[in-house]
Amino acid sequence: MRLYIGLVHYPVYDKNEQRIASAVTTVDLHDLARVARTYAARKFLVITPLADQQELVDRVRRHWTRGFGASYNPDRKTAIELVAVAPSLDGAVESISSVEGEAPFVMATDAGEQEQNVLSFADARAMLHQDRLLFLLFGTAWGLDEQVLRQSNAVLEPIMGVDGYNHLSVRAAAAIILDRLVGMNRISLSS
Amino acid sequence: MRLYIGLVHYPVYDKNEQRIASAVTTVDLHDLARVARTYAARKFLVITPLADQQELVDRVRRHWTRGFGASYNPDRKTAIELVAVAPSLDGAVESISSVEGEAPFVMATDAGEQEQNVLSFADARAMLHQDRLLFLLFGTAWGLDEQVLRQSNAVLEPIMGVDGYNHLSVRAAAAIILDRLVGMNRISLSS
């Protein structure tokens, strides 16, 4: 399985649908790194153009992989080792391409229903199991800017709860989506 | 569907397997409240005997349901409204029993393999869909104290990733577990 995940801090929307660069948070880094490690993603790319935010990511990574944290919590180390920084979506795609020798299929995620280029969970899972190189993008703040959706090869269908409420944290959404695409001891259900 | 979830702050283990009362964190409150709302849990009970921690939960709840937060973010309001405090597991069970008119089936969760009283995801999902009243417990810190597992009617099987790594945050684990037990647009898979 060749899966990469990316957490996009720019360009994303704020509450008023303005394009912003959101702040990196350590809880996102830890939670998504542990989810990435659990579901065997090859890298977790944190996408931000801001130098001070990139430095924060590097500092967290150093602490848990080489500093005190590495001996304090080895399980955390193997998760945080997956974290890398990219300055932009293009930069992230390039770094994956240079390692893998081919361009990834870029799949965005969004809580809203999209009109075109939508992939179902079943289709996305099948692609992964057919060894397709996949780069799965998650948005911070109020979600991925439309230009990221347009730049992507497809958008994954949104998670449905029970009655249409659809406001999960990116930490919860990423966990559920990776479980749906990769998880093992799930249960047999016809949707 | 009659599902309640509980986040246990005492008794749980610390890193050295000592019994502790962990601190309430606002990110746990928000993430689990949104997951609870998404998957139609009736209440999200925060279990802590510490008065100052109970007060923190109340303050977060007031801010998002009656204070500035309620108008700033109505979607958050409908999630945080599910939050309630209980001083102990017994207290939580009593409050559920008094609302529902019967005692809930208490199901603990744990990242480790248990030897007895283990329920599969399929069985737990079937119970819920047969309208059994279920109270699902999550542990903070290094997990639920053994006495909570013994007090429970069953323990849910652990989430399996890909290669045995099993160190998710409680935020990620709760999201995945509720999706497995309740989620709708999942995909047909024979485990």
How large is the average pLDDT for residues A150-163? 94
- Please enumerate in sequence order all residues whose Cβ is within 8 A of that of A85, keeping only pairs 6 or more positions apart, or say none: A45, A46, A47, A48, A54, A57, A58
pLDDT at position A115 is 87
Do residues A73 and A35 touch, judged by C-beta distance below 8 A? Answer: no
Give chain A's mean pLDDT.
94
Q: What mean pLDDT do residues B128-132 have?
A: 96
List of chain A residues whose C-beta atoms are within 8 Å of the C-beta of residue B188: 122, 188-191
Confidence label for B185 from pLDDT (cuts 50, 70 and 90)? low
Whole-number Å distance between alpha carbons of B50 and B10: 9
DSSP B185: S
pLDDT, one tens digit per residue, over A69-124 is 888 998 999 999 999 999 999 999 999 999 999 999 999 999 998 888 999 999 99
Residues of A in contact with B189 (CB under 8 A): 186-189
CB contact under 8 A, A179 and B165: no
Which are the contacts of A144, defined by CB distance < 8 A and separation ≥ 6? A8, A11, A12, A13, A108, A109, A110, A137, A138
Q: What is the value of pTM for the model shown?
A: 0.95
In this structure, are residues A97 and A154 in contact, taking their beta carbons and an 8 Å threshold? no
Q: pLDDT value at position B187?
A: 58
pLDDT band at A184 (very low <50, low <70, confident <90, very high): confident
Between CA B22 and CA B153 the distance in angstroms is 24
If you measure CA to CA, which chain A residue comes closest to B158?
A: A185
* Nearest residue in chain A measured CA to CA from B77: A167
Report whether A125 contacts A180 (CB < 8 A). yes
Distance from A90 to chain B by nearest Cα, in Å? 28
How confident is the model at residue A69, as a pLDDT?
Answer: 87
Q: Flag if B121 and A186 touch (Cβ within 8 Å).
A: yes
Contacts of B179 in chain A (CB under 8 A): 159, 176, 179-180
**Tens of pLDDT along B32-47?**
999 999 999 999 999 9
Is the Cβ pair A184, B161 closer than 8 Å?
yes
Q: What is the pLDDT of residues B53-63, one digit of tens each?
A: 999 999 999 99
Instruction: Sort strands B12-13 and B19-20 into parallel, antiparallel or unpaired.
Output: antiparallel
What would the DSSP string read from start to end of chain A?
--EEEEEE-SSEE-TTS-EE-PPP-HHHHHHHHHHHHHTT-SEEEEE---HHHHHHHHHHHHHHHTSHHHHH-HHHHHHHTTEEEESSHHHHHHHHHHHHSSPPEEEEE-SSPPSSSEE-HHHHHHHHHTT--EEEEEE-TT-B-HHHHHHSSEEEPPPP-SSS-----HHHHHHHHHHHHH-SS------
Amino acid identity, position B52: D
Q: For tokens 């965005």, name the residue.
A: A108
Using a CB-CB cut-off of 8 Å, the residues of chain B touching A121 are 185-187
Indicate the residue of A120, A172, A179 with minimum beta-carbon distance to B171. A172
A173–B175 CB contact, under 8 Å: yes
pLDDT digits (tens, 9 = 90+) for A45-59: 999 999 999 999 999
Distance (Å, whole) CA A144 – CA A111: 10
Residue of A nearest to B38 (CA): A161
ipTM value: 0.95
- pLDDT digits 0-9 by tens, B1-38: 999 999 999 999 999 999 999 999 999 999 999 999 99
